[in-house]
Homo-oligomer: A and B are copies of this chain.
Amino acid sequence: MPHVSILCGSVSDEEIAKKAWEVLKQHNITYDYQVISAHRDPDKLDEYIQKSDASIFICIAGLSAALPGVVASKTKKPVIGVPVSGKLMGGLDALLSIVQMPKGVPVACVGVDNGDNAAHLAIRILTLTGFL
């Protein structure tokens, strides 16, 4: 059973995902890594979330970064969102898409391209649970 599920919206986000899993590895935290687009593969994403027994989801996405919010709407577990930088104001589009969630469906947003901190935040949460 992996502790953390790392999801990317696009294969081009893998560099950011790698930052996250490198930190998790250093702390001996197991993870599962998948590339599933919230917009292009909604059914596959639903199924993955339902089947996953990870404690925390790290969702990495650019542009209109819906992935973290969609995951947060389908699970009650903590969801961490990582905005990926792009041409438009260096990633402000992804940042705002991830952080400005409506009341009741929280996403824990970290900095643009900051896959490391997504992992560090997951570690703080897992430490609190006693899993670590």
Contact = CB atoms under 8 A, between A and B. Distances in A.
What number of copies of this chain does the assembly contain? 8
A40 B112 CA distance: 19
A35 interface: no
Interface string A67-111: 001101110111110000111111111111111111111111111
A74 to B, nearest CB: 6
Interface residues of A, number: 63
Given A73-B42, A76-B127, A97-B96, A106 B87 contact: no
Interface of A: 9-10, 37-40, 42, 55-56, 63-64, 66, 69-70, 72-74, 76-80, 85-114, 116-118, 120-121, 124-125, 127-130
